[in-house]
A and B are shown apart, each in its own frame.
Chain A
Amino acid sequence: MVSTRELRELDFFKDFQEPELAALASIASHSRWNEGEAIFHAGTPAPYLYMLRAGTILLCFPNGRSLPLREGGHALGWSSLVSPFRYTATALCLSDVRLYQFSGRELYRLIQMDAAFGQRLMHKIAGIMEQRKLYREGTSINRRKA
């Protein structure tokens, strides 16, 4: 069970209202991964959005570029809300990681029920997509043999 207090501590949710946090908490679950595990792979179906709670994750894009996410409140798996609903990067755990997991389907149900919440959430998602665009769409690094 995830509480609204826990979600409020995350930067991502800092301007969400209490009823919205309650709705999010009702669909959230805890997710734990060990160092070296891949939470998801690029190109696979994206059922979940994750919020980093603790630990470090390396987002690895198919073009060889990567982005470490170290602090709590970082979102990963925005593809669970954006067509074609396939992850655009692989999420590799550089340490033991704890996350909050949200089903994309359940988030869509919340969006359908509350337009203001949907607007706020999607603006944040759009911001993240924009930030990571350079990594996602950068030219592929040439692979050199060791």
Chain B
Amino acid sequence: MYGLQAINAANGWAVTIAGVSIVFTGLLVLAAVMGNMERFLALWDRKGEFFRPGKGKLEAQPVRQAAAPGEPIKPAVAETAAVALASEQIEAANAFQLITNRLGEPFSLPQLLEKAAVHGISHPHRHLESFLKLRLIVESEGDQPGLYQWRKDVRIVGTEAEVS
């Protein structure tokens, strides 16, 4: 037997209707009971008040805590007019500037690091970190988040000789 005949022979429609009804009824009743549970429990807590003359004030509803949004990233260290660097750092800064001159500003830091590795600059990650920390390289403002530029109002000076 196939098709509707098979379904009818097995009381398929009755089983389906009964089954769906029972599942819905079960969860509906459970939802209704649990949806009102908070109210029942609040009434239960106040049951003593019903036996005292005069009704008590409603208890203040618990304040729902709004979820705290994530903390914004804190701004970096304050600017300086001149920054003294060790000779190794000055060399790295010069090499970085050569690369960024070709990349153009604002530039991508991952691209800078990639080119620095190709050009054989030693410890490019460490140097980049220090330039970011010293705010020699800063994030481009406006609608270009995540792209960076050299600060124009800062001079790099050596610990022994001045380098512009």
Contact = CB atoms under 8 A, between A and B. Distances in A.
Direct A/B contact, Cβ within 8 angstroms:
yes
Interface of A: 11-12, 15, 35-36, 56, 58, 60-61, 63-71, 73-74, 90, 92-95, 119-120, 123-128, 130-131, 134-135, 138, 141, 143-146
B37 to A, nearest CB: 16
Interface size class of chain B, counting residues whose CB lies under 8 Å from the partner chain = 20 to 34
B126 A66 contact: no
B129 A95 contact: yes
A146 B145 CA distance: 23
A142 B3 CA distance: 62
Interface string B108-148: 11110101001000011110110011000000000011111
10 contacts: A35-B125, A60-B110, A67-B145, A70-B132, A93-B125, A95-B126, A131-B73, A135-B145, A141-B147, A144-B102
B99 to A, nearest CB: 7
B109 A58 contact: yes
A15 B145 contact: no
Given A64-B147, A66-B146, A146-B103, 16 more contacts: A11-B71, A35-B125, A56-B133, A67-B146, A71-B74, A94-B125, A94-B126, A94-B128, A123-B69, A127-B68, A130-B70, A141-B107, A141-B108, A141-B147, A146-B99, A146-B102
A104 B52 CA distance: 54
A143 B104 CA distance: 10
Contacts of A119: 67
B62 interface: no
Given A71-B74, A134-B146, A143 B129 contact: no
A67 B145 CA distance: 8
A35 B123 contact: yes
A9 to B, nearest CB: 14
Given A95-B129, A138-B145, A90 B110 contact: yes
Contacts of B108: 64-66, 141
Contacts of A11: 71
B72 interface: yes
Contacts of A74: 73
Contacts of B123: 35-36
Contacts of B144: 138
